[in-house]
C-alpha cells in the first residue's frame, strides 16, 4: 500500500479529532438534557451511576491537571468552584447517589470544555442546568 505523505496524514488526524470533539460536545449536551428530564427524585440506574462515575473520575484527572497548569479558566469555572461543588457544600440533603451522579456530570462537562468540545458559554449553561437540578433535588 502507498504510504500517505506526513502532512496529509496529520490533516486527516486533525479532521478526525475535530469530528470526535463535536461528538463529545453533542454527547455531553444530550446527557445534560437527559439528566434534566429525569423527574424530581427519580433515580438513575446502577449502570448509569457506574458509567458516570468512571467518566467523572477520568474528567476529574483532566480538571486537576488543568488546575495545576493554571488553565482551568478556559471552562468558565474556577478550581475553587469545582472543589466547592465536589465537596457538596451548599447542597445538603440530596441522596448521595444522586449528588454524586450530578457532580460527575458537572466534571465531565468542564472537562470536555477544557479539551475544546465546546465554548465556555455553553459549558456555563450546562453547569447551571446541573446546579439547578442539584438544588431541585434537595
Partner 1 sequence: MNEEELKVLAEKVVAGTASQEESLLFMKEFNALLEELKEELKK
Residues that bind partner 1 (CB under 8 A): 10, 13-14, 16-17, 20-21, 23-24, 27-28, 30-31, 34-35, 38, 44-45, 47-48, 51-52, 54-55, 57-59, 61-62, 65-66, 69, 71, 108, 111, 114-115
**Least distance to partner 1, CB of residue 30, Å:** 6
Q: Name which of 55 and 94 has its Cβ closer to partner 1.
A: 55
Answer for the pair 117, 24: CB distance below 8 angstroms, yes or no: yes
Which residue number, 26 or 90, has a Cβ lying nearer to partner 1? Answer: 26
Measured distance CA(38)–CA(20) in Å, rounded: 27
User: How many Å separate Cα 42 from the centre of its chain?
Assistant: 21
Rounded distance between C-alpha atoms, residue 133 and residue 6, angstroms: 48
Amino acid at each position: 500500500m502507498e504510504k500517505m505523505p506526513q502532512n496529509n496524514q496529520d490533516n486527516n488526524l486533525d479532521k478526525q479529532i475535530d469530528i470526535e470533539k463535536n461528538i463529545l460536545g453533542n454527547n455531553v449536551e444530550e446527557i445534560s438534557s437527559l439528566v434534566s428530564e429525569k423527574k424530581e427524585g427519580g433515580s438513575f440506574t446502577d449502570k448509569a451511576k457506574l458509567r458516570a462515575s468512571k467518566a467523572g473520575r477520568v474528567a476529574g484527572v483532566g480538571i486537576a491537571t488543568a488546575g495545576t497548569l493554571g488553565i482551568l479558566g478556559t471552562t468558565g469555572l474556577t478550581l475553587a468552584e469545582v472543589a466547592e461543588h465536589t465537596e457538596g457544600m451548599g447542597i445538603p440533603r440530596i441522596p448521595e447517589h444522586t449528588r454524586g451522579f450530578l457532580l460527575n456530570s458537572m466534571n465531565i462537562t468542564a472537562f470536555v470544555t477544557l479539551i475544546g468540545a465546546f465554548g465556555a458559554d455553553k459549558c456555563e449553561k450546562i453547569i447551571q442546568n446541573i446546579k439547578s437540578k442539584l438544588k431541585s433535588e434537595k
